[in-house]
Structures are given as C-alpha cells and as structure tokens.
A and B are shown apart, each in its own frame.
Chain A
C-alpha cells in the first residue's frame, strides 16, 4: 500500500515540476507581455523552485522514514525528543530563505506602484456588467461589453457544444476593445459605478479592484503589438463571468488614427443619448431585471406586482429610480442618462403596469 502511495505522489509531483522547468504555457502563468508581468513570472518561477526543493528534502525524509521506520519492517522505536539546537536550526533556516524571497518581491512591488509620468491615462469604470473607458486627455469614451452571443452560451444541444468549441475567443471577446500604443506607459485609473469589480489583464501583470466611490490606479507598458484578454476578477453579481477585458496593442500611427475616429463617434453618441425615450432606456437597461423579475423586481406589465408600488405615488417611484432602491442601483444602472430620461422611463414602466 505504502509504495503505491509513494508512486502516486511522485506521479503527481512530476507534472507539478514541469511548468517551472519547461515553461509549458498551459501549466503556468500566461506569457508575460510587460516588464512587471516578466518580473512576476520570474518571481513565481523562483519561489516555485525553492518550494519544490524544500518539498523534496522534507518529504524525501518523511518518505524514507515511512519506508524504513515501520513496525512491519521490524524497526524499534527510539524515544528521543526535545532538542533545542535542532529547533533553532529549523526556525532560522526558513527565516533566511524567506528573506531571500522577500527582497526581489519588494523590488517588484515598488515598481508596480510607480504610476508616475504616464504617456496615456485611461479611466476604466466597472458596471454591472460591462466596462466603460474614458481616454482622459482625448475626451474619448465608450462602453465595452461581451461580444459572444447569449444564445451560444445557453445552447444546450450537442451542436451548441460544437459551436462553442469552434467559436474563437469564446467569452473573451468584446464589442469595443481598449486600444493602446505599443511601448508607451499606460496609466489606468480604475473605479466602479455599482459594486466592486476588478480590472485584470494577466499578460500585463495588472489586476486592480474597481471600487465604487474610490479611484485606484495601476500601469503597464506593452512589449508587443497584439490582442490581450482578461476578465473581471471580483464577484460582481450574476453576469460576473461575462464581462471580459480586451486590450488591443497597436503601433503609434494606428493608435492616432483610432483616436481620431473615436472622437467623432463619441461626439455623435453624446448627441444621441439625449433623445432616447422611456421604452428605449427600458430595453437597454431595465429589461435585465424588470424583464425577468429577478431580485424582487416587478416585471414590466405585471399588474399585480405594480399595483402596491403605483399606490405610493409617482414621486416616490421617481426617487427610487433615481437614487436606487433595494436591489436596484441608482438610475437602474443607466448612470449616464439624465434625470428627465429616467423619469420618462419610470412613466413608461408604470403605464404598462396600470
């Protein structure tokens, strides 16, 4: 039994050792694409190898003891115990090893925290459940939502599984990626609108919680042109798994072109949002809860559910919608809408509930 156990354990150990040595991508951190990500990668490899060495020494000893010092092998128990010298050695030696780990880690922490002198500053805002981006110096703003169709996610048929497997970048694609120039220091200012989210792009070694009401920052400088993908890393409600982050790193000229296009688009969007009517706002924002009735939300047109609410009077409903109520965030999550548009939306919902 025992030797089988040892065999099993060695079998588990070998794949565990592989990543550090071979750098096999699927067993390890994603290929680093920034200075910080490189440092994190090397730090992980270093600590991983130290841990493996300790593991081999400590559990080699234990395994030897298990094999040799068994009653079945006729071993008689020694009765020694308490040895201050040994105790001091196995307290001091790990302490020294830890100092060896802490020094490079400290250097990396200080480098990660240095967000000074950026070339470009982008504000990322977490919403339930998408990301909003503002290029602070260029006045460019847009939302970035999951581009994978919902039908594909929920398709339970065998073809669905096949289609998902063939779908490139399933759940890791967005309609509007963040675009940045290669080799430039990008500072990302991160906040949230409703609950805590986290902006994470593994290839850049960047993960920062997005906290409503507070602003945090982080930075990266992309080594190479390419498309890098990450996900929201802090549980933020039901669609937490469906708000990816895509960063497209391009040459400077392409970036300049892109910014010019975006400026035009942003101007056009700003003009359009003032003209949305209650129905359009409902269909874009409210439907997520009021269409399905989750979290106690009264469904559109459900007269029984609306009756007690309508009794409170339209002013109360306006206040609830604007300031948030129970599970509903302020403005139902449509933070960029004017108060007048929100009130029109309340009117639309209450008319349907009468």
Chain B
C-alpha cells in the first residue's frame, strides 16, 4: 500500500482548499468527513431527545397508577421514542460511519455524489424539527406506536401528518444516501481492491444500502396511503370503504423487517472490524461472513408476516413465515461462531472498542435467542405485543446496534480527532452501560411472559417490582450515556496525540493515513496488492 505518497499529495491539496469557515463550512460542505461528523452529531442529539422520552415512559411506569402523564400523552411518548430512535438516532449514526469510513477504507478521495451527500444530510434537521414539533400541535404528537398501524393512525390529529412528512423526508434522505454509498463502493475502490478484498464494514454497508433502496419507497407508499385515507377520501385501510386494515401491516412490515436488518448489518460490519483488530488475528471466515450477511438480507424479504401472527392468517401462512424466520438463525449463528473463532487463540486486549464488541456479542446473542423464541408461532401468540417483545428488540437494537455504534466510535475516534480518547471514561461508560442495560431490560422478559402488554401507561399490581427495577435501570443507563458525551468532547478538545495506527492489529486502509485524517485523503488512490 503506497500510503506515504498519498499523504504528501493530500497535504499539498489541503493548502489550496478554499472552503468557507465557521457555520457556512458545515452548511455548504461536500466533504465526506464533515458530512460524516454532521450525521454523527445529529444522531447523538436525537439519541438524547429519544432518551428523554424514554425517561418519561419509565417514570410513569415506575409504579402503578397514573402519576405524571395522561394516557394519550404516554402513547405519544412511546411512539415518538420509537420513531426518533429508529429514524433519528440509529440510522443516521450508521450513515455517519459510512461517510467517514467507506471512502477511507476503499481508498477513495470522497463519496461519489458529493453535493447530493450534503443534501441528504441537510434534509434531516428539517425532518427532525417537523417530527419533534408535532408535540406542540393540537392533539399532540403521533400516538399510534412507531408502527403507526391504520386505522388508529387515521384517527390522529395533525401531529400524525407532521410525522408522515418527517418520515417522507427522512426516507428521501436515506435513499439518496444509499445510492451514494452503492455508487461509491462499486466505482471508487482503489486499484486492486476487488469486492472480496473489501473490509467487512464496507460489505455490510453495500448490502444495507441495497436494502434501503428496496424498502424505503415501500414505507413511503404505506404512509402516503395513510395520508390520503386521512385527508383525501381514499379507503385503503378502511374496511367500510372496501379497504383492509391488515394490508397496512403487510406493507409496513415488508419495509419494517428489512429495516431491522438495516439497523443491524452495519453493526455486524463494525464488530467484524473491531474483533480481528483486538484479537490480532484475521477474521476467521471472511467469505462466509459475506455470504451470511447476504443470506440475512435476502431472507429479510420473506419473513415480514412474523410480526403479524396474531392477525389471524391461515395455518399455511403461519407455517411459512415461521420456517422462514427460523432459517435466519442459521446465517446469524454463522456470524457469531465466526467472531468467536476469530477470538479463539488470538492475543486479545480489551480497550473500550473491544469491550463494547464483546458486550455486543454476549447481549446481542441473547436478543437472538429471544428472537428464535418469538419466531415459534404458538409461543409468539402468547408474547406478541407484550414486554417480552420490548425486551427482545431492545436487546438487539440497544445491545446490538447501539453498542456497535459505541464500539465503532471509540475505535475510530483517534482517526477522526487525532487524539486518543480517555480509556478510563470509555471503560466506565462500557461497564455502566452493560450493567444498567441488563437491569433495565432483563426483567422485561419476565413481565412479558407473565402477561404485561406493551404500550400501556398503567399496569396490574403483580407487575410492580419488575417495572420498578426496569425504571431504576433506565435512569442509570441514561445517565451513563453522559460519560459517552464527556469522552467524545474530551477527545475532540485534546489529549494524547494519536499515531497513524493506534491499534496493533488494525490493518485496513484508513490506518495508513495520519491521525487526524487529512481533510482530503487518497486524492491519488493507493494500490492494493
């Protein structure tokens, strides 16, 4: 890899760049690193807004009775917590990683469509403002759950319209971002970097981007139909007019299930970079990881109705979707076994990125097991729409996606800022997060099994103690995230100077660049042998 040559060139170019400074730098930027930073900061902001709503939910559920909120506001809290975390926090965070890392990992100077990249980011803040401002319109924010099932969603006030517009805009942003990522990966790899030589993070994002392009228009269709049912006299989901409420669920989940993998595949990618780096050993089965990721993506299109077992589909439908869903355990298992085989007989150290990656493995896999339990139709009939499902998807989304985001952040912070982060802060963040995460969500399995429905503002007495434990855990988990902000701020402002490659076992292209990575990198592509 001819890295030294590239640096000189990049540096020279930097001196001649006349980009605006101050605020206009960020508004007009077409630089993938700036846009990556914008995405990550946006995501962090939304993460805290969504977290605040979660505090509201857990405060109300701390004890029986209605303490703080009216039931309708409680429903707004759960709905908006879900929408903000999914569309505002997790998805943009991964796009931020893609922006920063993909060009550097494939030896490209920038993203393929640099101006469109600016546009796809700057669509997000107005969408977020629309979404959050729905709290302040008459009738309040959307309160039909993040799944906005019709016909409940056709009953809501104007807040629902704001939510629908926000989702449309975010969807457009995602589609543009994905087209950009696919084009960049397929056309701008350094000479010699064949597809099967790409880092796994790039692979997982390539597949994710295809999933996004395939399903975001489906979501747009579903919510547009809700919009026209609400205002223009159509009856897509109104049985009295010849429509079908269950059709909404089919369309929504045809988007929704691939969406779940959109939020986890890039996480798999990050973990697949981190574990080999800290085990100082190559990934055990690179090719099988690529195939497993592709299988998961393909299977994700034929399992959607497992979210709908209780709608009352025919036995043949239940059987098909149960078998297809169970099949997903196979490629997911392959991935977990591969990560463990990578750790096996390595020479491991446990800096913060590795801690989060190991935490991810443990806790995400528990979410995988409960996912298998939910896949079994008869069991799902009992636990669908209970706290068991709430526990399940927080195990995969918080301990899965979010922990991978943390892991990736600590892993690449030295490259982004040029400083080492504080290990003390990072480790404290990890231990507090994993302990409080389990205190929050583990008892929810028991609640769900014992019969507590989700999305209720008040509950029967037998659910009291586990709810109290979960609420205490949630407070701890939320406060622990302040350490994350502290670690990032401290690292951005200064600290020990980071070398080009602070990690002994990391061997992808970005580590051949100096830290912080120059504003323009790989202007001349490196040659991969």
Question: Does A associate with B in a complex?
Answer: yes
Instruction: Assess A12 versus B311: contact at CB under 8 Å? Given A51-B373, A153-B66, A238-B70.
Output: no
- Asked if A40 contacts B378 (CB within 8 A), the reply is yes
Given A44-B373, A240-B456, A164 contacting B381 (CB threshold 8 A) = no
- Nearest 9 A-B pairs (CB), nearest first? A213-B239, A241-B456, A216-B312, A77-B347, A238-B72, A78-B345, A51-B369, A108-B378, A77-B280
Inter-chain CA distance A105–B376, complex, in Å, is 6
CB of A82 within 8 A of CB of B145, answer: no
A208–B358 Cα distance when bound, in Å, is 39
The answer to whether A238 touches B340 (Cβ under 8 A) is no
A120 close to B (CB within 8 Å): no
Chain B residues with CB below 8 A from A30, complex form: 450-451
Least CB distance from B400 to A in Å reads: 16
- Shortest Cβ gap from B429 to chain A (Å): 13
Whether the Cβ atoms of A79 and B376 lie closer than 8 Å is no
* Residue from A80, A236, A296 in contact with B157 in the complex, judged by beta carbons closer than 8 Å: A296
Residues of A within 8 A of B151 (CB): 194-196, 212
Is B384 interfacial (CB 8 A cutoff)?
A: yes
- Taking A156-B67, A217-B312, A238-B72 as known contacts, 7 extra A-B pairs with beta carbons closer than 8 A to each other, sorted by chain A number, are A58-B365, A75-B347, A83-B284, A105-B322, A106-B322, A161-B65, A214-B245
Q: Please pick, from B334, B372, B378, the residue contacting A109 in the complex, using a CB distance under 8 A.
A: B378
Q: A55–B449 contact, CB under 8 A? A: no
Asked whether A164 lies within 8 Å of B64 as measured between CB atoms, the reply is yes
Residue B24 is within 8 A (CB to CB) of chain A in the complex: no
Chain B interface, number of residues (Cβ within 8 angstroms): 103
Q: When the two chains form the complex, which single residue of A12, A27, A241 contacts B453, counting CB atoms closer than 8 Å?
A: A241
Closest residue to B291 on the A side, CB-wise? A87
Q: Which of B37-45, B136-144, B264-272 faces chain A?
A: B136-144
Instruction: Tell me which of A196, A212, A235 contacts B455 (CB under 8 A).
Output: A235
The minimal Cβ–Cβ distance linking B447 to chain A, given in whole angstroms, is: 10
- With a 10 A CB-CB cut-off, give which of A40, A48, A235 has the most chain B CB atoms: A235
CB nearest to B283 among chain A residues: A81
Contacts of B183 in A (CB 8 A): none
Give the complex CA separation of A194 and B238 in angstroms: 10
B202 at the A/B interface (Cβ < 8 Å)?
no
* A71 on interface, CB distance cutoff 8 Å: yes
CB distance from A16 to the nearest CB of B (A): 8
Q: Which residues of A contact B346 (CB under 8 A)?
A: 65, 69, 75, 77-78
Interface of B, secondary structure class, is: helix
State how many angstroms separate the Cβ of B459 from the closest Cβ of chain A.
7
Say yes or no: is A154 at the interface (Cβ < 8 Å to chain B): yes
Are B386 and A233 closer than 8 Å at their CB atoms? Answer: yes
Given contacts A58-B337, A81-B285, A296-B157, whether A240 and B75 have CB atoms under 8 Å apart is yes
**Which residue of chain A has the shortest Cβ distance to B323 in the bound complex?**
A102
Checking B156, B340, B445, B460 against A172 with a beta-carbon cut-off of 8 angstroms, the contacting residue is: B460
Some 23 contacts from A to B, beta carbons below 8 A apart, are: A9-B362, A29-B382, A43-B376, A70-B349, A76-B347, A77-B280, A79-B281, A82-B284, A82-B286, A82-B287, A86-B341, A91-B334, A109-B318, A161-B63, A171-B64, A171-B460, A195-B152, A200-B453, A207-B382, A233-B310, A238-B72, A239-B71, A240-B456
Contact with A along B351-392 (1 / 0, CB 8 A): 000000010011001100100110011110110111000000
Across the interface, do B66 and A154 meet the contact criterion of CB distance under 8 Å? yes
CB-CB under 8 A from B384, the residues of chain A are 207, 233
* Residue pair A94, B460 in contact (C-beta under 8 Å): no
Given A101-B326, A240-B75, is A209 in contact with B310 using a C-beta cutoff of 8 Å? yes
- Chain A 28-56 interface residues, beta-carbon cutoff 8 Å to B: 28-30, 36-37, 39-40, 43-44, 47-48, 51, 54-55
Chain A nearest Cβ from B406, distance in angstroms = 16
**Residues of A contacting B139 in the complex (Cβ-Cβ under 8 angstroms):** 294-296, 327
Does B228 lie at the interface of the complex (its beta carbon under 8 Å from any beta carbon of A)? no
Taking the complex as formed, is B336 at the interface, i.e. its CB lies under 8 A from any CB of chain A? yes
Q: Kindly state whether residue A177 has any CB partner on chain B within 8 Å.
A: no
Q: Which residues of A contact B145 (CB under 8 A)?
A: 235
Cβ contact of A238, chosen from B143, B279, B314, B427, cutoff 8 A: B143
* Min distance, Cβ B431 to any Cβ of chain A, angstroms: 8
A264 within 8 A of B: no
With CB as the reference atom, state the residue of chain B lying closest to A157. B65
Contact indicator A62/B343 (Cβ below 8 Å) = yes
Identify the closest chain A residue to B322 (Cβ).
Answer: A105
- CB–CB B382/A202 < 8 A: yes
**Nearest CB on A from B468, distance (A):** 12
Closest-CB distance, B449 to chain A (whole angstroms):
5
Q: How far is the CB of B226 from chain A (nearest CB, A)?
A: 13
Q: Which residue of A lies closest to B456 (CB)?
A: A241
Q: Is the CB of A198 within 8 A of B377?
A: no
**Known contacts A81-B286, A98-B329, A66 near B348 by CB under 8 Å:** yes
Q: In the complex, how many angstroms separate the beta carbon of B136 from the nearest chain A beta carbon?
A: 14
> Could you tell me the distance in whole angstroms from the C-beta of A232 to the nearest C-beta in chain B?
7
**Nearest A residue to B276 by beta-carbon distance?**
A81
User: B312 contacts A208, CB within 8 Å?
Assistant: yes
Q: Are A2 and B350 in contact (CB under 8 A)?
A: yes
Residues of A within 8 A of B505 (CB): 77
* Complex CA–CA separation, A218 to B309 (angstroms): 13
Q: Is the CB of B286 within 8 A of A233?
A: no
Let me know if A21 is at the binding interface, CB within 8 A.
no
Q: Which of B158, B327, B381 is within 8 Å of A40, CB to CB?
A: B381
A141 at the binding interface (Cβ < 8 Å):
no
Q: Is the CB of B350 within 8 A of A207?
A: no
Confirm or deny: B155 has a beta carbon within 8 angstroms of a beta carbon on chain A. yes
Residue A311 lies at the interface, judged by CB distance under 8 Å to chain B: no
Q: A82-B287, A207-B310 are in contact. Are A109 and B377 (CB under 8 A)?
A: yes
The one of A8, A66, A211 that contacts B343, using a Cβ cutoff of 8 Å: A66
Q: Which residues of A contact B381 (CB under 8 A)?
A: 40, 112, 205-207
Given contacts A81-B286, A196-B245, contact A169 B460 (CB under 8 A): yes
A238-B71 CB under 8 A given contacts A153-B65, A156-B65: yes
Task: Tell whether, in the assembled complex, residue A211 and residue B461 are in contact, meaning their CB atoms are under 8 Å apart.
Answer: no
Give Cα A244 to B434, complex, Å.
36
Assembled-state Cα–Cα distance A154/B71 (Å): 11
- Complex: A206 Cα to B381 Cα, angstroms: 7
Residues on B with beta carbons closer than 8 Å to the beta carbon of A95: 330
Residues B452-484 near A (CB distance < 8 A):
453, 455-462
Q: Which residue of A lies closest to B379 (CB)?
A: A44
Q: How far is the CA of A152 from the CA of B244 in the complex (A)?
A: 38
Complex: how many Å from CA A36 to CA B386? 19
- What chain B residues lie within 8 Å of A36 (beta carbons)? 378
Query: In the complex, what residues of B have CB within 8 A of residue A154's CB?
Result: 65-66
Contact between B310 and A109, CB atoms less than 8 A apart: no
